[in-house]
Structure 1
Amino acid sequence: MDTKELKKYLKRITVRNVENADVEVENYSPLEMIGKGRQGAVFKFTDGICVKVFGNEEDCEREYYALLLGQHTNLFPKVYAKGPDYIAMEMINGVDLREYLQSQPLTKELSAKLIEMLITFKEIGFERIDHHKRQIFIQPDGNLKVIDVARTVWRDRVYPYPRKLLTSLGEDYKAMFLEHVQELAPELYEEWQHYIRMEELSRQIYENVLNEYRESRKDQLKIKSKKLLTTNDEVKYKISLEGLMHKVFKEEWVKTMLAIGYDPEKVMKKIDEYWDQYERTERTKFVIKGKVVENPKQTESEDEKSNKKNKWNKIEKNKKQIPRRRIR
């Protein structure tokens, strides 16, 4: 395949990944965009060839690797060319399974082909033996083709049964497909049912663990939150109440002065001066060793003052009576 013309067109196409959404596309080429998804956008190059342009090179490499694994089968589109962020491949026509089931029944023959698709995935080395119904196309001859296979490889953990396929089928077709599997491959059916039950059990265990954690956190929070309480401590309560009144008075005073038309900076300066003066002259209570006591300087009685003075005079008198050593 001659890629010169294709590369010329691709220079005029920009594809950007968007978190949890389909890619953003800027297309200034004559190529028609025929679809897009989370990883990239697909453009029609010729009647039989399309090109998928990716938002990043890693997704491109991943899909290319997955497609190469299945090139010897009839299940995957043929690859014609690859660049750092694009793959030119066979155009897949037909109807995707999602659209097909809107007007046609899920027959036992079609279910058998879906099982064969999963077998092929396993045989060629895919880690995820699963696929969404919108990525499965039914060809005019009845055979299947799959697209968007990047997520089937390079996976550390996967569901051990085709959960994506079963879920995408919907409840009615899921039940019908499982009936066909039970008849066509009984052991496979039993294994899938086992994993479905294990999944339900895992979710129940998770909910129980989460509920226990929530209750534990709630109990811990009740204990820790007591550190924030102040009303049961007289000293802290008085300090908190005074601070509250201070804040309310300051805020309301500012509102009043501003409503009258005073300069905001002057208002704030005046308030700060007032509270500084208040704290210097009006506050008479101090906290000493966890107890509220009156300011000693303001509550000292005359007798106490006299006793202190006499004690001081006695100390001075004793100093004079101490003999001094002569220094030679």
Structure 2
Amino acid sequence: MEKIKKEHGYNLSKLQFIGKGMHGSVYRIDDYKCIKIFKKRDTCQKEIETLAMAQGNSFFPKLFDFGENYIIREYIDGMELDKYLKDNPLTISLSEKIVKIYEAFGDVGYKRQDTALLHIFINSMGELRLIDTAKAMSISTKYPKIILGDLKALGLKNTFLDHVRELRPDLYKFLTLKK
């Protein structure tokens, strides 16, 4: 971590600690940027590559800079979608946004069109943003098993599928034929 402090002038002890996950720690630089420091260089490289693929798509954070074990990316303000859904209803509008973020995975070329709901943030405007892309190329799957599993754990899978049936009958058929 000392290398990051020197190279970029960031004293991590003076930055706001946002959180720690499986891959590393994140600190807020300012209202627009954060720095994510990875435990493993290969995971950092994967996230750099997947974020680069998604630049220009509004569901994914902007990538500003990177190094061997860190990225500086857009700070995403909001709440994890799984936590949000514990206290707020899954509306048809929100289901439509989940479908759009799912489709965005394929649009940007990700092999894995799936993620945990804790990696999707919802902001105060109701917009969804993805915060972790490191595993987006790890396996090839179009079926959103993790998204549906997380919704099931919240008791919302059937509500989501009802919304998808109304919004996108073609996608509903795909999601319900695959078990």
**Residue aligning to 2:87:** 103
- Aligned residue runs from structure 1 range 80-119, under 5 A: 80-119=64-103
- Report sequence identity in percent: 35
1:42 aligns with 2:26: yes
Take 2:9 and 2:107, find their aligned partners in 1: how far apart are those partners? 38
Residue 127 of structure 1 and its aligned partner are, at CA, apart by 0.6
Secondary structure of the corresponding residue to residue 41 of structure 1: strand
1:146 aligns with 2:147: no
Secondary structure of the corresponding residue to residue 110 of structure 1: helix
Take 1:76 and 1:145, find their aligned partners in 2: how far apart are those partners? 6
Residue 8 of structure 1 and its aligned partner are, at CA, apart by 4.3
Find 1:190's aligned residue among 167, 170, 173.
173
Bigger helix fraction: 1
Paired residues of 2:120 and 2:131 also in contact (CA < 8 A):
yes
Secondary structure of the corresponding residue to residue 145 of structure 1: strand
Change (3 A) 1:175 1:152: same
Residue 5 of structure 1 and its aligned partner are, at CA, apart by 5.9
**Residue aligning to 1:174:** 157
Which runs of no fewer than 5 residues in structure 1 stay unpaired?
11-26, 197-328
**Residue aligning to 2:8:** 7
Take 1:102 and 1:171, find their aligned partners in 2: how far apart are those partners? 7
1:162 aligns with 2:144: yes
Residue 194 of structure 1 and its aligned partner are, at CA, apart by 1.5
Take 1:125 and 1:104, find their aligned partners in 2: how far apart are those partners? 31
Residue 46 of structure 1 and its aligned partner are, at CA, apart by 2.1
Residue 91 of structure 1 and its aligned partner are, at CA, apart by 0.8
Cα offsets for 1:8-36 (capped at 9, x unmatched): 447xxxxxxxxxxxxxxxx7x33332111
Q: When the two structures are superposed, what TM-score results if normalisation uses the length of structure 2?
A: 0.89
Residue 145 of structure 1 and its aligned partner are, at CA, apart by 0.7
Residue 4 of structure 1 and its aligned partner are, at CA, apart by 7.5
Residue 164 of structure 1 and its aligned partner are, at CA, apart by 0.3
Take 1:7 and 1:172, find their aligned partners in 2: how far apart are those partners? 45
Cα offsets for 1:21-59 (capped at 9, x unmatched): xxxxxx7x3333211111111012223211000011110
Cα offsets for 1:46-96 (capped at 9, x unmatched): 232110000111100101111111111111111111010000111110222
Cα offsets for 1:127-184 (capped at 9, x unmatched): 11112111111122222111111111142x43x4111001112262011101111111
The alignment yields a C-alpha RMSD, in angstroms, of: 1.9
Change (3 A) 1:182 1:6: farther
Query: 1 or 2 for the larger relative contact order (CA 8 Å, sep ≥6)?
Result: 2
- Equivalent residues, number: 175
1:134 aligns with 2:121: no
Take 1:179 and 1:65, find their aligned partners in 2: how far apart are those partners? 35
Q: When the two structures are superposed, what TM-score results if normalisation uses the length of structure 1?
A: 0.50
